[in-house]
Amino acid sequence: MINGSRDMLSSFTEGLVTYACQDLEEESREELIYMAKLCEIAECYDDMRIYMKKIIQLNSELSISERNLLSVAYKQSVNPKRHSWTMTSSICSKLSEKNEIQQLKMAQLYQQRIEHEITEICNELFHLLDHYLIPTANRIQDGEAILFFFKMKGDYYRYLAFQSKLRGNNDDGELLKYYSQQALQAYETARTMSTTIPASDPLRLGFALNWSVFYHDIMDMPREAFNIAKEAFDETLNELDTLSEESYKDTAFIMQLLRDSLTLWDYDAEEEEDRVQKQDHH
């Protein structure tokens, strides 16, 4: 009975949001923002993306809270699919080892479907960033917004690069190169903008974390990844006393992630240096 009630509530919620999507074609920006927040509460993230697109097309100058809504809409849409892609990738590897050809083909087709959905979401975001959000942020000279959007662009190209890298066949070589270059360009622009805000700012610190992950996971440069993370961590330590209570919590959380990465990557960086030294001797 309880499960039945939950199903009814879920169906009602989905129906309400679907109806609202159809009924709000000419609604004001404030009403669209309300609907985006409603979608977040209802965990209807695909619908949330629809409202965020409408908001941006009406006025692409976003407040901090609206930028966060955009981030939630796309992150919560793409992350479950990224997890599903990773799981099916693992299944494909096991089926290949067992030489179960028919099941492998089915799993690969399903993985391709998930990947197509991920790529569509990323391309949708790139369009909003390149045609609306970044031009507007540049026009009004909003440094934090520029950092936010270029960080976001780098992150989503990193997601695509990671998938191409894991597949590892010849056809993906050019894609990996393209996605990696796009991510690097976006991150380099974000890096330039990050110097205009305090090192302890959660936005700047979160960028440094993701940038370091890019160098470690995509570029296979653990020493560079380690150095980026270490510099960000050390610079933030010097500013902790200046933070408000709210900012301190966000900053402390990201610093813990940086600390965890530094612990993991220190060994990788040493291995990389040993490998380079051996090559120099030959």
The predicted structure's pLDDT at residue 111: 95
Please provide the average confidence, as pLDDT, over all residues in the chain.
Answer: 89
Q: Is residue 66 one of the residues assigned to a domain?
A: no
pLDDT band at 171 (very low <50, low <70, confident <90, very high): low
The predicted structure's pLDDT at residue 210: 98
Q: Is residue 207 one of the residues assigned to a domain?
A: yes
Say if residue 279's pLDDT is above 80: no
Q: What is the rounded average pLDDT of the residues 165-185?
A: 86
Say if residue 280's pLDDT is above 70: no
Other beta carbons within 10 angstroms of residue 119's beta carbon come to 16
**Domain count across the chain:** 1
Say if residue 271's pLDDT is above 90: no
Q: What is the rounded average pLDDT of the residues 204-222?
A: 96
Q: What is the rounded average pLDDT of the residues 244-253?
A: 86
Cα(166)–Cα(86) distance, integer angstroms: 9
Contact present, 228 and 188 (Cβ < 8 Å): no
Q: Is residue 25 one of the residues assigned to a domain?
A: no
Q: What is the rounded average pLDDT of the residues 106-112?
A: 96
Say if residue 152's pLDDT is above 90: yes
Residue 87, both tokens: 């799981």
Range(s) of the domain holding residue 245: 199-269
pLDDT band at 239 (very low <50, low <70, confident <90, very high): confident
219-222's contacts with Cβ under 8 Å and 24+ in sequence apart are 219/180, 219/184, 221/272, 222/265, 222/268, 222/269, 222/271, 222/272
| CB half-sphere exposure, 258, CA atoms < 13 A | 29
Q: Is residue 62 one of the residues assigned to a domain?
A: no
CA 265 → CA 89, 189, 200, 209, 271, distances in Å? 24, 25, 22, 13, 10
Reference 88, options 167, 168, 156, 173; nearest CA is 167
Q: Is residue 253 one of the residues assigned to a domain?
A: yes
Q: pTM value? A: 0.86
Alpha helix (H) residue ranges in 24-128? 29-42, 45-58, 64-97, 101-128
CA 188 → CA 33, 157, 185, 208, 261, distances in Å? 31, 13, 5, 11, 21
Under DSSP, the state recorded for 28 is -
Q: Is residue 98 one of the residues assigned to a domain?
A: no
pLDDT band at 247 (very low <50, low <70, confident <90, very high): confident
Reference 209, options 175, 271, 158, 142; nearest CA is 158
Q: Is residue 12 one of the residues assigned to a domain?
A: no
Cα(73)–Cα(65) distance, integer angstroms: 12
pLDDT band at 233 (very low <50, low <70, confident <90, very high): very high
The predicted structure's pLDDT at residue 149: 99
Residue 91, both tokens: 């299944």
The predicted structure's pLDDT at residue 243: 81
Q: Is residue 181 one of the residues assigned to a domain?
A: no
Cα(205)–Cα(170) distance, integer angstroms: 36
